[in-house]
Amino acid sequence: MQVLVTGGAGYIGSHTVQKLLDAGYGVVVYDNVTTGFREAIPVGAELIMGDVRDKLMLSRVMKDKKISAVVHFAAKLIVSESVEKPLDYYENNTMGALALAQACIENEVGMVVFSSTSMVYAGAEVSYMLTEISPTSPSNPYGQTKLMSELILRDCEKPYGLRSVCLRYFNVAGAALDGKNGQRTKNATHLIKVASEAACGKRESVGIFGTDYPTEDGTGVRDYIHVEDLAELHVLALKYLNDGGRSEVFNCGYGRGFSVREVIDAVRKVSGVNFKVVEQPRRAGDAVYLVADSSKIRKAFSWTPKYDNLELICQTAYNWEKR
């Protein structure tokens, strides 16, 4: 089976490409490399330069490469930036998903695995684990554009036969255990990446954005999933669709949360570096508590995570940053 991976030069995309290759799929990466990296693309995958909003080119690639399924990552993803530049996010993320769906339908590509986010839930200040039927009310344009993309794909199944699995990521972190791949993102905002950079002396400090949240230590709580476990879930989602599964939405997390302070302590422990921490006001669009009830995906895919350990996640991220 030939699989098109949009955004396959990115952090999660490139890890997933490796898992797909390991599973025996042919992989074509479609990326404009504006935020991705050519060197992140594993050997064995073909790179085609293109923009996900270009329906004509997407359609041509699907036809020429005899694509059977798509794993769709290509999107803008910084929450604070989406608040400042919302139209950029609607134009890139939502219109990109629309162009992709249209190209799939034109070329009878019937399966899409979509990179979504827990930000679709972020409207309410909840203190319980989120299930796939929890209210969706995004508090920022990033989450809104992802939810709109989910709805586009959902509405394509009945009339067009385009089936999809939407994977709602919680906080993704870490690096490949063999040290060959990790997060290369410039000016990253992900906490574990930022803390690892500080531990390596690449940043002067780590910011804690908000210390007055209604949590045990006053900082936001997140569910962190190792990138290797998440990449494997994309392969399992593709198998699910290939076996005839209907369109579904799944949470991707471990089912337990850690506060910002707990994560900083974990990175300090694995690195042995007591880097500087600066307390700052809350950021626009940030949620209080985002923890996944992942029972649905565990059951549907018979999935047991391999790397459910905060220190291991932080250790692999720090090891990658040192390299």
- Residues acting as catalytic residues: 142
How far from 32 is each of 18, 35, 36, 53, CA to CA, in Å?
19, 8, 8, 11
Q: Residue 213: in which H helix or E strand, if any?
A: none
How far from 173 is each of 59, 156, 307, CA to CA, in Å?
33, 32, 11
CA distance 226 to 173: 5
- What is the signed CA dihedral for 194, 22, 17, 2, rounded to 10 degrees? -170
CA distance 292 to 256: 7
Place of tokens 């399992």: 236
Please tell me the total number of residues recorded for the chain in this structure.
323
Evaluate whether 33 touches 57 at the Cβ level (below 8 Å).
no
Give the type of residue at 68.
S
Per-position b or e across 166-199, b if 16+ CB within 10 A of its CB: bbbbbbbbbbbeeeebbbbbeebebbbbbbbbbb
Evaluate whether 163 touches 245 at the Cβ level (below 8 Å).
yes
